[in-house]
Amino acid sequence: MNNNFRIYNTASRQVETIVPNEAGKIAMYTCGPTVYHYAHIGNIRTYIMQDALVKALEYVGYDVKRVMNITDVGHLSSDGDTGEDKMVKGAQRENKTVMEIAKYYTDAFFNDFDAVGNKRPDVIEPATNCIPEFIHMVEVLLEKGYAYLAGGNVYFDTSKLDDYYVFSSAVEKEALQIGVRDDVEADDNKKNATDFVLWFTKSKFEDQALKWDSPWGVGYPGWHIECSCISMKHLGEYMDIHCGGVDNIFPHHTNEIAQSEAYLGHKWCNYWFHSNHLNDQSGKMSKSKGAVLTVSVLKDKGYNPLVYRFFCLQSHYRKPLVFSYENLDNTVAAYNKLVKKIAELKNDGTKDDAVVAAYHDKFADCITDDLNTSNAITLLYEVLKDGCSDATKLAVIADFDRVLSLDLINAATASKEEATEVDSELEAYVLDAIARRANAKKAKDFATADAIRDELLNKGIEIKDTREGVQWKKL
Ligand SMILES: [Zn+2]
């Protein structure tokens, strides 16, 4: 067990050593997708880096329980509870029911999620499964005086907290400005601009498909309440690590903390892990800019989804990453070269367990250093250059790949088989040419015999007549 796993905690704005609530165990929560549209490759970057975090924690000995929600109700187009309902909008766009949309995009999400080598969370819970839990939490918040009814909706009263801006960073203030600017309408029911909806009964949408009975009338939950309830349902009152994209920091995570800690009466989650954006040349990747670039689209264009994972792992999760096809093509070349090098290793020599263990520790040093996956990959190249036996190198690479999940050993085996196939095809061709040349010589047709020799030379094959017969080699 490595007790020095450090990550950047957005709540404290510094890199901290993780001290779990229960020794050896990590309770982790991940904000899942809103299944009204495809997840673009920027969303998938976030899930790749979270997957690396889970596997890194497991690599050094932690037992991780990870929970993720699926948002299939309640998420409006502005995270600040205004605008249109994302699910209703998706259903209208495609002339389907909300549940059909949810099913279709949930499947599409996991297709891409799995393709990039991610392990699925231990618990995956759609929001629509937990309506009684949401209602219970809203009731408690009303009883405790943290919530109020206005205009048919239940709101969380942010003025009841000593410190609402828990992340109290530039990020929150900046996001608030953007939120104010983007708001399509002001909600006059709110006592404070930062108050947020816990339960809607006055739907602004005629076609609101999903509605449930509640003590406040027929309605549906706000978005933020989901994550608080679903995490507590499966992880209890104390959580170690909460993950999301930097977009989630404000208002989503700020609101999750507000309502969870008001409900529990104590601190809820200790570490906040946020991955940065993926940008394309025109700026931040988003779904509103026309065609959505997904992992499936990359696959259709002939890219191996694991190459996209490799692309993401080469950069630090806290830095914005720029996507371009040129960058991806460079990664394809690097991945193929890496696999070829591994394919050249022969599974011979003795495996040196001491060397394997030493590399295991070095790798752990990289990934426990605020998940430095790019240093972990540099170490992989160092292993290939090491003077140790091939058997040792293969064992080390397989060990690293528990976290990297680049399928390196299988890819190398497949490329070896492909190379053998090419070799046997080439051999059949050369033997046939040698036989044709022998026949030509027998018939004293030396011009044809020479032409066959030249034909082989053009293909990079040299033949030599020896006393033992004709020998050939690749030049
Ligand atoms: Zn969430």
Structure confidence by residue, pLDDT tens digits, 451-464: 999 988 888 888 88
Q: Residue 227 C-alpha to ligand 1 middle, in angstroms? A: 5
Q: Is the per-residue pLDDT at 177 higher than 80?
A: no
Helix (H, G, I), strand (E, B) or coil at 63: strand
Q: Residue 244 C-alpha to ligand 1 middle, in angstroms? A: 7
Q: Residue 31 C-alpha to ligand 1 middle, in angstroms? A: 4
Q: Is the per-residue pLDDT at 334 higher than 60?
A: yes
- Nearest 5°: the CA angle 305, 311, 314 is 145
Q: Residue 209 C-alpha to ligand 1 middle, in angstroms? A: 22
Q: Residue 418 C-alpha to ligand 1 middle, in angstroms? A: 45
- Average pLDDT (275-302) is 86
Write down the pLDDT at residue 366.
98
Q: Residue 57 C-alpha to ligand 1 middle, in angstroms? A: 21
Q: Kindly give the residue spans of alpha helices, DSSP state H, lying in 95-169.
A: 98-115, 131-143
CATH code for the part of the protein at 6-296: 3.40.50.620
Q: Residue 279 C-alpha to ligand 1 middle, in angstroms? A: 22
Q: Residue 147 C-alpha to ligand 1 middle, in angstroms? A: 20
Q: What is the pLDDT of residues 289-328, one digit of tens each?
A: 667 899 999 999 999 999 999 999 999 999 999 999 999 9
DSSP string covering 5-42: -EEEETTTTEEEE---SBTTEEEEEE---BTTSPPPHH
Dist. CA 419–CA 425, nearest whole Å: 10
Q: Residue 100 C-alpha to ligand 1 middle, in angstroms? A: 22
Q: Residue 235 C-alpha to ligand 1 middle, in angstroms? A: 14
Class of residue 54 by CB neighbours under 10 A (exposed 0-12, middle 13-18, buried 19+)? buried
Q: Residue 115 C-alpha to ligand 1 middle, in angstroms? A: 23
pTM assigned to the model: 0.87
Percentage of the chain beyond pLDDT 70 is 92
Q: Is the per-residue pLDDT at 182 higher than 60?
A: no
What is the average pLDDT value for the chain, to the nearest integer? 90
Q: Residue 342 C-alpha to ligand 1 middle, in angstroms? A: 40
What single-letter amino acid sits at 124? I
Confidence bin at 90 (pLDDT 50/70/90): confident
Closest CA to 328 of 296, 353, 304, 294: 304
Confidence bin at 181 (pLDDT 50/70/90): very low
Dist. CA 138–CA 140, nearest whole Å: 5
Domain boundaries, the chain: 6-296, 303-408, 411-474
Q: Residue 78 C-alpha to ligand 1 middle, in angstroms? A: 14
Domain 303-408 -> CATH class: mainly alpha
Query: 150 - beta bridge partners?
Result: 153
Query: 284 - beta bridge partners?
Result: 279
- Average pLDDT (348-359) is 94
